[in-house]
Amino acid sequence: MKNKKTILIHSNFCRAFTGFGKNSKNILRYLYSTNKYNIVEAANGCDNRDPNLKKLPWDCFGTLPLNVDPSSMSPERQRAAGYGAEGIDNIIKEVKPDVYLGVEDIWAFQDFNKKPWWNKVNCMIWTTLDSLPILKQAIEYAPKIKHYYVWASFAEKALKKIGYNHVQTLRGSVDTHCFSRLPDEERSRLRSMSNIDQDSFIIGFVFRNQLRKSVPNILDGFKIFKTKNPNVKAKLLLHTHWSEGWDIAEFIKEKSIDPQDILTTYFCNQCRSYEVRSFSGQEQNCNRCRSEKSVSTTNVSFGVSEKQLNEVYNLMDLYCHPFTSGGQEIPIQEAKLTELITLVTDYSCGEDNCTPDSGGIPLKWNEYREPGTQFIKASTDPQSIAEEIEFVFNMPKDEKIQMEKKSRQWVIDNFSIEVIGKKLEEIIDAMPEINYDFENSKVIFNESYKPIENLSKEELIISLHKECVNDDIDKNSDSFKFWNHKLSTNETSPENIINHFNSLAKHFNLQNNQIDFSSLFTEEDEGKRIAIVIPQSETDVFLINSLLKNLKKQYKNHNIYIFTQENYFQYIEDNPFVYKIFKYADILENVLFMEGAGDHKGYFDMTFYPAVTTQKNICYIHNGSNKNQFSLSE
């Protein structure tokens, strides 16, 4: 009998109250229930001491490293560890999966393509993208990911537009059994319990109170609707936490909206009951269990159950979700499952949720750019919100019911666990089983690679990346653009590029063979040494590059060594004041290791850490009080 495939699903822990966590729970349960596979979970945010990992029907490994003090890590390393970068290799080695399924934000997989098991195992990335232009990292990784899936069709279209036809949409799964329209008598009872008039028209918005959720816009739209329709008993229900993100109470006051027209959900963290009413502050006493200061607006720490959330949706007559961008926005699908017409910003993942066949109505928006990233973001038009609220309010009852029924069915057909799970089955079943003959072999980079003659400059660049450093790139990759510019402007020659990549391959081989740090030095390196540790980014490396002349002027008899990530070598290696450049490693953050302490002589006279503060690294020591006088800004 053919062995079962082993599927490793790497994401938020399946019991985490997050979108990724809910999706993990859904797909893990589905795939486990088929009895076709060996299912294993790699749970981000947990380590193997967590007892909850042992309570699952499948094997579950925490990805956080054990016996490592997070405060000893750089911010970059902490972030990578949180996404599983430090634990996943050992899990792969122990589990030996046929399929690795990574379900996280795209930056969670930084440098995974350089791992020895990458694409030796069937590797699938299933990620959320929320804005245009598509995140540069998502484009960089496209040629490296064989099985590339996104949660919303706008991202698939954008990536295919630049040539990545292998990218496909696979929506995040939603448990369609948790949300439904309740009988009219039950809906009426829920309103009575919340002291809401039966003839009130309730517009709802369920959201985490983040700045990308357009609270000012929906308040403005609601006010416009109320002003135009003063005889309508309209209420706006904001199911969110009022003590993070937007100061909603201040907005209500500023916009001269009657506070009694804005409802919210309160939750008791003791008896776990909830009530819907207007906002009146936090940490209130519970009327049900009499606990003191136990009642606050619903939040990620203490919030309603899915059964209670379903009841909250059933208080609504219409759902409105204005936002700047999003990867999927699961509350939209939950609202549709309760047979609510949904008003949704017609941008990002909202494009999928505001079509006529989805039971949705598009909201108009104006473009603005996010500072720093320059992503296109949507500012939803309040006038459009008001107009569409009025349109639904005046909609004939039969037409409204028909659209509401369509709304629920569309989610069942496109987001249900059964539909998404079946698609995953088909993807997994089409993948070959894996022979682990690569497991114990070291990755050998080709440091003597010589390309065939008569390659175009584009072919040469792609070939060197692939053959020397095992990196799949294409014309959209930053590294390709960099070297193509160098060749096109005659700033370098093909021979120099070949030498550069041969040197990179040699350096990687040294690291992979775990050669002692001191062996990187030759006899000519016996002079005085200064190390500058600058892991990233482009801007930081460029800035340091401009300051090296001053440093060399200050210390004429010292050789300057730069430690940075290899993809930044190209920005600094031609500086005449740099003696040698090596790849960054976490151990370099230990100044005592670098400069010595006790019986350890150390490797450098001085080590500078421009990217960190002395509160994190004791980089002010510098082997003596007379050696810390130099400032890189001099």
> Residue 69's pLDDT is what?
78
- Residue (of 189, 218, 182, 191) closest to 408 by Cα position: 182
Mean pLDDT within 1-5: 72
> Residue 524's pLDDT is what?
67
152-192 pLDDT tens trace: 999 999 999 999 999 999 999 999 999 999 999 999 999 99
Q: Which residues of 599-620 are buried (b: 16+ CB within 10 A; e: fewer)?
A: eeebbbbbbbbebeeeeebebe
Residue 409 is which amino acid?
Q
Which residues are bridge partners to 267 per DSSP? 274, 296
For residue 608, pLDDT over 70 is answered with yes
How many percent of the chain have pLDDT more than 70? Answer: 92
Count of C-beta atoms within a 10 Å radius of residue 259:
12
526-584 pLDDT tens trace: 778 899 998 878 888 888 888 899 999 989 889 999 988 888 888 888 889 999 888 88
Mean pLDDT within 304-330: 97
> Residue 566's pLDDT is what?
83
> Residue 94's pLDDT is what?
94
> Residue 633's pLDDT is what?
47
For residue 515, pLDDT over 80 is answered with no
How many percent of the chain have pLDDT more than 90? Answer: 73
For residue 617, pLDDT over 60 is answered with no
> Residue 634's pLDDT is what?
44
Distance CA 91, CA 66 (A): 13
pTM > 0.85:
no
> Residue 243's pLDDT is what?
96
> Residue 380's pLDDT is what?
98
For residue 621, pLDDT over 60 is answered with no
pLDDT band at 626 (very low <50, low <70, confident <90, very high): very low
Indicate the pairing of strand 558-564 with strand 528-533. parallel
For residue 1, pLDDT over 50 is answered with no
401-420 pLDDT tens trace: 999 999 999 999 999 999 99
* 98-107, 223-232, 278-287, 433-442: least confident range: 433-442
258-286 pLDDT tens trace: 999 999 999 999 999 999 999 999 999 99
Distance CA 253, CA 257 (A): 6
DSSP one-letter string for 241-280 = -TTSSS-HHHHHHHTT--GGGEEEEEEETTT--EEEEE--
> Residue 83's pLDDT is what?
96
DSSP state of 172: P
Which residues are bridge partners to 606 per DSSP? 530
pLDDT band at 2 (very low <50, low <70, confident <90, very high): low
* 179-188, 586-595, 607-616: least confident range: 607-616
Residue 251 is which amino acid?
F
> Residue 628's pLDDT is what?
46
Cβ partners under 8 Å of residue 9, min gap 6 = 24, 27, 28, 31, 39, 40, 41, 42, 101, 103
Higher pLDDT among residues 518 and 604, named by residue: 604
Q: What is the mean pLDDT of the chain?
A: 91
Distance of CA 93 to the CA centre of its chain: 25
Mean pLDDT within 131-160: 96
For residue 625, pLDDT over 60 is answered with no
Cβ partners under 8 Å of residue 344, min gap 6 = 321, 322, 329, 332, 350, 353, 354, 360, 361, 362, 363
